[in-house]
Structure 1
């Protein structure tokens, strides 16, 4: 089971609540929720590593990542404004590794909930 720790202000707006749920779904490996939340043209840029383009490549990447289980997800900050959002947090993995991350999201529109692009900065902690 994944332990979730989130800042109390992480649900002050519908988009902030959505980004919180999106990150929880990622940590828990809920691929169906993740796929429903992105546009067909999703582009995920993992800085310094790779770029995933399109819903099918996104699904494939999620399937590959599902093997390494997250045991603890901490969400420090979630921000949203218009059609952009950001999440800052950390993850502890089943294998003992720990990562800090910042994700920047662009939505299909200011009122839309489909994610059009994600830029991720991921740092392996000691």
Structure 2
């Protein structure tokens, strides 16, 4: 569970070193209703487009992890004052010390 909190914080802070080490080369990021990014390069590119240091606050409400799956939800507030609620579901390539092989993200503007 701590890994998922670190991962989400790294996404917001654009810690590309941590992120590239945390996902498989074949990562699939499905942003429901918007876009699907496949491969590590496309994942990083899409992440940069979405954050670009515009985040003022990250609030994590819940983190769950079991075996090869995990989930996290919370709220992100931008420097412009707009907030987005998020829920993300992760699939790992193994149960322990594994890398993320897929992420499904749901976003709701508040």
TM-score range, shorter chain: over 0.9
Give 1:113 shift.
Answer: 2.5
Per the alignment, residue 9 of structure 2 pairs with 24
Structure with greater Cα Rg: 1
- CA distance in 1 between counterparts of 2:15 and 2:22 reads 11
Partners of 2:77 and 2:84 within 8 A in 1: yes
Task: Return 5+ residue gaps in structure 1 as ranges.
Answer: 1-15
Per the alignment, residue 79 of structure 2 pairs with 94
Give 1:70 shift.
Answer: 1.0
Q: What TM-score do the two structures reach when normalised by structure 1?
A: 0.83
Per the alignment, residue 109 of structure 2 pairs with 124
Partners of 1:28 and 1:69 within 8 A in 2: no
RMSD over equivalenced CA pairs, Å? 1.1
Q: What TM-score do the two structures reach when normalised by structure 2?
A: 0.94
Per the alignment, residue 58 of structure 1 pairs with 43
